[in-house]
């Protein structure tokens, strides 16, 4: 069955403009907390490691349990929100996020912290698709909705930049668990204001819930995300490749099941709609660029330039401002240009940011980092803002939760790919370029040649002259790896720009083709 992507009512009365923007402010609180939570933990790892003494495996799960569970449950939770009500799911998730954050803050063992991080992932999976799908309900007017989604998109970039700054300050003045308590008062505001400001919306005829589809979606996404993240840390292995293939195989089974169901959890025929598929690819590439760049730049700022978390975070502030401007400006530009042209321009700007990073070496200052990250954040945020807009414009209102979950899953996969691909390439070049043979370090040379962090640790136990030589070699090798990753990312972004320009050249902001195009005129439901 097919329907016009813009003809279906939202199922809720239109709100006054004042209430619309107040509701958006409430939704933004959840977005900011999720984004901050994604970046702040990395800075707390040294302190919590000293306190809880986790093993290497336990530390891995402390860091990654949140992202693994969140990515695996997004599609299920988006579908659940369509059924039970997106506001209800959002508020339930907010309460769970506050509770899990409190448990994490006062964790007394690695196991307790891992469990709390996993619960945070469950709660986060309820929050992310609910916020975007509720924007669809709150802003039925497409022009206002484009601005609202621009603000929503900018929240991720703002939170990512604020995480190191706020978290850095807290870690310098408080204990490591305090970074988790950031979420509690914000979620409290959401729980108090949400019932009054946010309208309820749901699919009034959702059909039966399919537990098998839920398990298959989790089994498809989780192995792929895990394999990608581990590849960034360990390098590519046969076991990780096999795990990714298992996830892909489960994904095929999931898709085939959706094609057979009368009321599928995920309407896979949406991907036959070219603007929808291109918007999803845009979201994946945008987050690949943004998260991959932050992953590498954070190491460069702290380990090469020897900056503390707070000082390193300030280098990302211009990028935060640029992301905010781009997210809002992209929607405004739709009056004069097509979505394809604007997305292509955004990804081209992102590519330019990575080319700026090619100027880095082992002794550079942070100005090139600041400039390059400003371009990356500006371009990626503008592109992802329009990508999310197209997704919400294309799908019928009753599918808003499921579609937003697909969009968020693309973001999560983009983050995993960015860290895995760019991180693995940087590590491979680092290991190939570093040369410590003439320093007589013995077994310590192997450690230093493994990662930049290991080289920094090894140098702390050496005589000053030798330590300086080790650090100089490690910094030069890491900068070479970062340049290689930057070049690859620049090429990927330019490829995405060409794809967006060609695929969306006849697409209006509503997601409907401006010329007769059978594949793009309708969205299957």
Domain 16-206+273-513 -> CATH class: mainly alpha
Q: CA of 5: how far to CAs of 299, 349, 395, 430, in Å? A: 44, 30, 5, 49
Contacting residues for 333 by C-beta, under 8 A, at least 6 apart: 342
Q: What is the pLDDT of residues 98-116, one digit of tens each?
A: 999 999 999 999 899 999 9
Return the higher-pLDDT residue of 152 and 8. 152
| pLDDT at residue 56, rounded to an integer | 65
**Contact present, 230 and 240 (Cβ < 8 Å):** yes
pLDDT band at residue 263 using 50, 70 and 90 as cut-offs? confident
* DSSP-assigned beta bridge partners for residue 2: 524
Structural tokens at position 287: 């987050």
pTM for the model stands at 0.79
pLDDT at 9 over 60: no
Q: Comparing 114-123, 208-217, 479-488, which segment has the lowest mean pLDDT?
A: 208-217
- Report the pLDDT averaged over residues 482-503: 91
Which range among 75-79, 339-343, 410-414, 443-447 has the greatest average pLDDT? 339-343
| pLDDT at residue 401, rounded to an integer | 64
Q: CA of 454: how far to CAs of 9, 97, 435, 445, 471, in Å? A: 57, 34, 14, 10, 10
- Report the pLDDT averaged over residues 256-266: 81
- Report the pLDDT averaged over residues 205-209: 68
pLDDT at 3 over 50: no
pLDDT band at residue 511 using 50, 70 and 90 as cut-offs? low
| pLDDT at residue 4, rounded to an integer | 38
Instruction: Select from 198, 225, 209 the least CA-distant residue to 86.
Output: 198
Q: Comparing 13-27, 43-57, 319-333, 423-437, which segment has the lowest mean pLDDT?
A: 43-57
Rounded to whole angstroms, the Cα distance separating 424 from 429 reads 9
- Averaged confidence pLDDT in the chain: 80
Query: Phi-psi category of 203—alpha, beta or left, where left has phi over 0 and alpha has psi -120 to 50?
Result: beta
Rounded to whole angstroms, the Cα distance separating 466 from 439 reads 7
pLDDT band at residue 283 using 50, 70 and 90 as cut-offs? confident
End-to-end CA distance of the chain: 6
**Contact present, 144 and 88 (Cβ < 8 Å):** no
Q: Comparing 19-23, 106-110, 400-404, which segment has the lowest mean pLDDT?
A: 400-404
pLDDT at 354 over 90: yes
Rounded to whole angstroms, the Cα distance separating 266 from 254 reads 9
Q: What percent of the chain shows pLDDT beyond 70?
A: 87
Q: What percent of the chain shows pLDDT beyond 90?
A: 13
Domain ranges of the chain: 16-206+273-513, 208-262
Return the higher-pLDDT residue of 497 and 31. 497
């Amino acid at each position: 069955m097919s329907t016009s992507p813009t003809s279906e009512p939202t199922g809720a009365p239109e709100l006054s403009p004042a209430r619309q923007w107040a509701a958006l402010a409430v939704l933004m609180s959840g977005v900011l907390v999720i984004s901050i939570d994604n970046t702040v933990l990395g800075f707390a790892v040294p302190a919590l490691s000293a306190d809880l003494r986790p093993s290497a495996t336990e530390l891995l799960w402390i860091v990654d349990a949140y992202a693994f569970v969140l990515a695996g449950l997004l599609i299920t939770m988006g579908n659940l929100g369509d059924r039970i009500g997106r506001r209800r799911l959002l508020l339930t998730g907010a309460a769970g996020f506050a509770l899990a954050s409190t448990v994490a803050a006062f964790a007394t063992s690695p196991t307790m912290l891992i469990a709390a991080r996993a619960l945070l992932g469950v709660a986060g999976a309820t929050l992310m698709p609910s916020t975007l799908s509720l924007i669809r309900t709150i802003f039925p007017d497409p022009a206002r909705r484009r601005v609202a989604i621009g603000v929503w998109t900018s929240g991720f970039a703002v939170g990512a930049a604020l995480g190191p700054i706020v978290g850095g300050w807290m870690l310098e003045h408080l204990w490591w668990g305090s970074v988790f308590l950031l979420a509690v008062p914000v979620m409290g505001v959401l729980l108090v204001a949400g019932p009054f400001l946010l309208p309820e919306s749901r699919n009034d005829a959702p059909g039966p819930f399919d537990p098998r589809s839920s398990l298959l979606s989790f089994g498809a996404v989780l192995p792929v995300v895990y394999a990608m993240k581990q590849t960034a840390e360990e390098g590519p292995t046969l076991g990780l490749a096999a795990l990714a293939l298992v996830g892909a195989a489960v994904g095929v089974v999931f898709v085939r099941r959706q094609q057979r169901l009368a009321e599928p959890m995920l309407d896979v025929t949406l991907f036959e709609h070219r603007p929808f598929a291109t918007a999803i690819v845009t979201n994946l590439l945008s987050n690949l660029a943004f998260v991959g760049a932050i992953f590498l730049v954070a190491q460069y700022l702290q380990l090469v330039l020897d900056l503390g978390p707070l000082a390193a975070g300030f280098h990302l502030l211009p990028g935060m401002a640029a992301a905010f401007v781009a997210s809002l400006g992209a929607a405004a530009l739709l009056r004069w240009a097509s979505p394809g042209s604007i997305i292509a321009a955004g990804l081209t700007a992102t590519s330019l940011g990575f080319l700026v990073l090619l100027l880095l070496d082992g002794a550079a200052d942070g100005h090139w980092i600041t400039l390059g990250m400003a371009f990356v954040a500006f371009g990626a945020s503008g592109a992802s803002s329009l990508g999310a807009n197209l997704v919400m414009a294309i799908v019928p209102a009753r599918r808003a939760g499921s579609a937003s979950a697909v969009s968020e899953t693309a973001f999560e996969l983009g983050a995993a790919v960015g860290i895995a691909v760019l991180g693995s390439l940087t590590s491979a070049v680092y290991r190939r370029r570093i040369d410590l043979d003439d320093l007589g370090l013995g077994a310590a040379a192997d450690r230093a040649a493994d990662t930049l962090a290991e080289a920094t640790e090894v140098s702390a136990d050496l005589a000053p002259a030798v330590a300086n030589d080790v650090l100089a070699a490690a910094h030069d090798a890491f900068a070479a790896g970062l340049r290689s990753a930057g070049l690859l990312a620049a090429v990927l972004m330019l490829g995405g720009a060409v794809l967006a320009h060609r695929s969306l050249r006849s697409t209006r902001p509503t997601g409907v083709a401006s010329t007769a195009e059978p594949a793009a005129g309708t969205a299957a439901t």
